[in-house]
Amino acid sequence: MKQNEHLSIAVTKGIVAAIALACVVLCLRGPATVRWIMAYRHLNITGPAVAPALLALGYLCAALAFAMLYNLYRFLGRLGQGALFVPQNVTALRRISLCCAGAAALCLPTGVIVYVPFVFLGAAAGFMALIVRVIQIAFAQAVRMKNELDLTI
Amino acid sequence: MAIIVNLDVMMAKRHMGAGELAERIGITPANLSILKNNKAKAVRFSTLEALCKALDCQPADLLEYVPDNES
């Protein structure tokens, strides 16, 4: 692998780590963020249960984000070692896709019921889940082809 | 696998070791071992040609079809 490819992977890993750090900060500031949304944003419904529901949604999305980022970080690590078409990468892509789909499933109904901008987040996550799913299927096919090729003498 | 590679039989007939054969046909001993132990999924014609040339035999001497329930 070329030097600039190693550098590119290292930079990407750094960005993933930075996003994970931002997620940690958002988690720590979760209650304050919910209070800010409740105070300054227009919500479709109001009531005592909305704030805890938004907080719970935020933490669930954060859990999915951490799982996704962890899998992405490991995926990049294997890429750096030159292990591209291996079954572990297919599993990682499937998990990333599931995390995105989970985030979409959480955000879309919340957007419709509580706060409209969440619809866009949910749509983006759903679209991302679809793209990663297609990449995962392509990777699975590539792993099968590589196995065949490795055993062709 | 329904196709059996009888490489070891032919190697014994020609009194040729795995290392020597691998060197003659230009593949690694590890790949020759995969072939010899029937772990290979496919054989290139170029490899088969090199094997036949090195062992002075026909492809039929190296490959045999055995139905799955008999193997």
Report the alpha-carbon distance of residue A95 to residue A71 in Å, rounded.
7
Residues B28, B22 contacting (CB under 8 angstroms): yes
| Domains of chain B with bracketed CATH | 3-65 (1.10.260.40)
B40 touches chain A (CB under 8 A): yes
Taking residues A92-118, what's their average pLDDT?
93
Nearest to B34 among A147, A148, A153 (CB): A153
pLDDT at position B70, please? 57
B30 touches chain A (CB under 8 A): no
Tens-digit pLDDT profile for residues A16-55: 999 999 999 999 999 999 888 888 887 878 888 888 999 9
Residues B62, B7 contacting (CB under 8 angstroms): yes
Give me the helices (H) in chain A, please. 3-28, 30-40, 50-80, 87-113, 117-150
What phi and psi, each to the nearest 5 degrees, are found at residue B4?
Answer: -105, 135
Percent of chain B residues topping a pLDDT of 90: 56
B38 touches chain A (CB under 8 A): no
Residues A103, A61 contacting (CB under 8 angstroms): yes
Residue B22 has pLDDT above 60, yes or no: yes
Mean pLDDT taken over chain A = 92
| Residues paired with B63 in a beta bridge | B5
Residue with tokens 């419709």: A112
pLDDT at position A9, please? 92
Tens-digit pLDDT profile for residues A62-75: 999 999 999 999 99
Taking residues B16-30, what's their average pLDDT?
91
| Residues paired with B42 in a beta bridge | A152
Best residue in B5, B7, B31, B41 for a mutation probing chain A (most A CBs within 10 Å): B41
B41 touches chain A (CB under 8 A): yes
Report the alpha-carbon distance of residue B62 to residue B17 in Å, rounded.
16
Write the DSSP assignment of A65-77 as a string of letters. HHHHHHHHHHHHH
pLDDT at position B1, please? 62
CA angle B43, B48, B49 (to 5 degrees): 145
pLDDT at position A45, please? 83
Taking residues A122-137, what's their average pLDDT?
96
| Residues paired with A152 in a beta bridge | B42
Report the alpha-carbon distance of residue A146 to residue A4 in Å, rounded.
25
Residue A6 has pLDDT above 90, yes or no: no
Write the DSSP assignment of chain B as a string of letters. --EEE-HHHHHHHTT--HHHHHHHHT--HHHHHHHHTT--SB--HHHHHHHHHHHT--HHHHEEE--TTT-
pLDDT at position B45, please? 94
Taking residues A100-128, what's their average pLDDT?
92
Report the alpha-carbon distance of residue B31 to residue A140 in Å, rounded.
24
